[in-house]
Amino acid sequence: MSSARWKPRLLLAAAIHCGVWGLFIMGWPDLSFQVYGYTDGLTNTLVWQGCGFAIFMYGLSYALAATDPQRHYGLVLIGTIAKTCGTAGVLYGYLSGQLWLYSVAWVFMNDILWIVPFAMIVKDAVRFERPLQTESAGYESSVWFDWLRT
């Protein structure tokens, strides 16, 4: 598969995954809490549903990024950082005895699986960042970091 074709497909798969998972958490908070392996009852449903909403919104951002991964790599960068931090948090929770090994299995499916391909998308985009033509100003401008050049 050409390098131009795998990125949108991967981002679309991530969008569907996050969209479905976020809707699951929002719609069935108690059940989704148990699926993660938490044995204590859910004490703050709204906070947990808010996490589901954030996951759903990541899905929307990946869907947008799938339309042009080169241009929207910032959204993928944010997802990469979030997935890396989420993984670190779950691993810390496991190593400190606060989370079960079962939770680490879920973090693989929800986070670790996506980190490397997301990082590759960001790396390629930054490496080959194409300039955009700004019609009103009449000069070329890069997608990010314009303010550094002024």
Give the burial class of 32: count Cβ atoms within 10 A of its Cβ; 0-12 exposed, 13-18 middle, 19 or more buried.
buried
CA 26/CA 40 separation, integer angstroms: 18
Contacts of 81 (CB under 8 A, 6+ apart): none
Give the tens place of pLDDT for each residue, 9-19: 999 999 999 99
Q: Which domain holds residue 78?
A: 3-149
CA 51/CA 32 separation, integer angstroms: 11
State the pLDDT at residue 133.
47
Task: For residues 49-74, give the mean pLDDT.
Answer: 96
Q: What is residue 129's DSSP assignment?
A: P
State the pLDDT at residue 31.
92
Percent of the chain with pLDDT over 90: 58
Decide if pLDDT at 147 tops 70: no
pTM over 0.95: no
Number of domains in the chain: 1
Q: Which residue would you say has higher pLDDT here, 133 or 79?
A: 79
| Cα 71 from chain centre | 16
Q: Show the tokens assigned to 46.
A: 């709204």
State the pLDDT at residue 23.
98
The H or E element containing residue 141 is strand 139-141
CA 48/CA 29 separation, integer angstroms: 7
Decide if pLDDT at 127 tops 60: yes
Task: For residues 62-78, give the mean pLDDT.
Answer: 96
State the pLDDT at residue 130.
58
| Cα 116 from chain centre | 12
Contacts of 29 (CB under 8 A, 6+ apart): 42, 45, 48, 49, 52
